[in-house]
Amino acid sequence: MDNKHFMNESNDFAIIWNETLNQIRSELDEQEFNTWFNLEFQSANEKEFTISVPSLFYLDQVKKRYQTYIEGKIEELIGKQVALNLVIKPKTEQKDNIPSEISEPVKKPVSETTTKTEPIRKEKHSQLRNDYSFDTFVVDPNNSFPANAAQAIARNPGTAYNPFLIYGGVGLGKTHLMQAIGNYIHNHSDSKVFYVAAETFTNEFIASIKDSERVKTAFKNKYRFADILLIDDIHFLQNKGGTQEELFYTFNALYDANKQMVFTCDRPVSDLKDFNERLRSRVGRGLNVDLQPPNYETRCAILKKKAEASGINIPDDVIDLVGKNISTNVRDLESALNTLTAYARLAGKPVTLEIAQQRLKDVFASPRQSNISIEIIQRVTAEKFHLSLNDLKGKKRTQSIVYPRQLAMFVCREITEYTTTEIGQHFGGRDHTTVMHSCQKIEDLVRTDPSVDSIIKSLIRDIKDYSLK
Ligand code: ADP
Ligand code: MG
């Protein structure tokens, strides 16, 4: 690939960096991405990308965990080896994990040119993504109810639908819709909008209980003084009794004060395991809506909209090809599109049907595109090994059960998009480290015993056949 013509301007490097981040975002778990990819492009030349991190702690961690990975991603994009040079540049907006006190939103000094009476806030919310708005959310018959409900709540928070729960599988737009509510309210009022991933909420809670009274109170107050509280992925709170209880008190405080709460979850609350009953019933009493995977027309509409936003022309036959072949979720659609727009930018050539077919053939062939659920994998594995589903998911440790169980976990990790945490939850609430350990066991076995590989292959075939029935 001839890269010369686009390697001249720093702007092009910034674009490459953005593409790199886009691709990484599509590969990593959202939480992981948000935690570690707080990285800002500074400058670049043909040999080196200089990227800033907010602190020395980040510098160490990003170096250790991601330096080679990021360099590899850039190389994939531009076909050249580059070094990643990390520098520290503190962000002014950066917030500490545990706030020492409750502060009002910082008011920017009003410059002479802006009018004081302007009712709409112009500063971006520091925890919300700007592009997660109602405008960018494509509505189809499948998701019009959740989308309309979300808009109604954004216009009139804390009234009719409190709390609001959006549930559904990965990559279907839960976070987008929730943040759209947050952005709308943030932009149209001076309400204090708090967005937090359930995982962060948990970590902050755990850190606070080990700390001084002041920190404990700060944590409690932080959330109880919110006007709008958005908590993402509450299924993460399963098995975390202490955190659930804390959320229960926060819930009550906010509910009594008519403050809007919005939650997302990967399943209906009734299916949450090890979940505080009072919290479950309170959340369940609000408006609970589910997001469904988009149908073919909507997939094309989403692709068109995102292609337009990227500024790259993607012809209709390519949109059609991607829309037909990727049916899992919107995140996968986006990532396929990113591959194509990156190609167009970097190669400086238009995206044709042939190019799209060639660039995306691995993605299209991926077993992830078949919407296989953990339940199906468990059912087929149990059947194959003549076990009951309960035994497969349960606690028994006899070898005749442990091995199929490990196999099933391994296959889940291989052919679905579920995280190890989610897989663990489906296997009787096991910890993600147990899932990782099981996968490792199977990998070791494959290395020493070639028959295991064919067992896995045949199991995967059976699972696919089953899921096509
Ligand atoms: P979830 O939280 O359900 O896993 P996200 O909200 O992160 O999913 O959505 C994944 C990606 O797909 C995001 O980039 C989001 O903007 C996009 N997306 C999802 N649904 C839609 C939609 N209906 N219209 C436009 N973009 C969407
Ligand atoms: Mg999400």
Q: What integer pLDDT is reported at residue 113 of this predicted model?
A: 37
Q: What integer pLDDT is reported at residue 371 of this predicted model?
A: 64
- Tell whether ligand 1 has an atom less than 6 A from the beta carbon of residue 300: no
Domain count, the chain: 4
Ligand nearest to the CA of 176: 1
Q: Is residue 110 part of a domain?
A: no
Q: Which range of residues forms the domain containing residue 64?
A: 3-93
Identify whether residues 448 and 397 lie together within a single domain: yes
State the 10-residue block means of pLDDT for the chain, 469 residues long: 45 77 82 82 88 81 87 78 86 39 34 41 86 93 92 93 94 97 96 95 91 84 92 96 96 96 95 94 95 90 94 95 90 93 91 94 71 87 95 93 96 85 90 92 90 89 75
Q: Which two tokens stand for residue 177?
A: 């819709």
Identify whether residues 140 and 270 lie together within a single domain: yes
Identify whether residues 139 and 243 lie together within a single domain: yes
* CA distance linking residue 24 with residue 36, whole number of Å: 11
- Which atom from ligand 1 is nearest to the alpha carbon of 138? 24
Q: What integer pLDDT is reported at residue 172 of this predicted model?
A: 94
Q: What integer pLDDT is reported at residue 186 of this predicted model?
A: 96
Identify whether residues 305 and 281 lie together within a single domain: no
Instruction: Classify the phi-psi angles of 346: left when phi > 0, otherwise alpha if psi is within -120 to 50, otherwise beta.
Output: alpha
| pLDDT (tens digit per residue) in 81-121 | 889 999 888 764 433 333 333 233 333 333 333 333 344 66
Choice from 21, 172, 308, 322 to test ligand 1 binding pocket (greatest atom count within 8 A of CB): 172
Q: DSSP per residue over 94-154, as a string?
A: ---SS-SS--PPPPPPPPTTS-TT--S--SPPTTS-TT-SSTT----TTTHHHHHHHHHHH
Backbone angles phi, psi at 289, to 5 degrees: -125, 150
Q: What integer pLDDT is reported at residue 101 of this predicted model?
A: 31
Name the residue with the closest Cα to ligand 1, atom 6. Answer: 173
17 touches 7 (CB < 8 A): no
Query: Residue 403: which residues within 8 A CB-CB, separation 6 or more?
Result: 385
Q: What integer pLDDT is reported at residue 19 of this predicted model?
A: 78
Radius of gyration of the chain (CA): 24
- Tell whether ligand 1 has an atom less than 6 A from the beta carbon of residue 171: yes
Name the residue with the closest Cα to ligand 1, atom 25. Answer: 137
Sign of CA dihedral 132, 135, 136, 139: positive
Report pTM: 0.61
Ligand nearest to the CA of 195: 2
Q: What integer pLDDT is reported at residue 96 of this predicted model?
A: 36
Q: What integer pLDDT is reported at residue 327 of this predicted model?
A: 83
Identify whether residues 70 and 206 lie together within a single domain: no
CATH of the domain at 455: 1.10.1750.10
Q: Is residue 343 part of a domain?
A: yes
- Tell whether ligand 1 has an atom less than 6 A from the beta carbon of residue 233: no
Sign of CA dihedral 224, 225, 228, 230: negative
Q: What integer pLDDT is reported at residue 141 of this predicted model?
A: 83
Identify whether residues 329 and 350 lie together within a single domain: yes
Q: What integer pLDDT is reported at residue 122 of this predicted model?
A: 67
Q: Residue 265 forms beta bridges with which residues?
A: 167
Identify whether residues 394 and 263 lie together within a single domain: no
Q: Is residue 261 part of a domain?
A: yes
Q: What integer pLDDT is reported at residue 121 of this predicted model?
A: 61
**181 Cα–ligand 2 center, Å:** 14
- Tell whether ligand 1 has an atom less than 6 A from the beta carbon of residue 333: no
**Three-state secondary structure of 298-358:** HHHHHHHHHHHHHCCCCCHHHHHHHHHHCCCCHHHHHHHHHHHHHHHHHHCCCCCHHHHHH
Q: Residue 375 forms beta bridges with which residues?
A: none
- Tell whether ligand 1 has an atom less than 6 A from the beta carbon of residue 288: no
Q: What integer pLDDT is reported at residue 46 of this predicted model?
A: 81
**197 Cα–ligand 2 center, Å:** 9
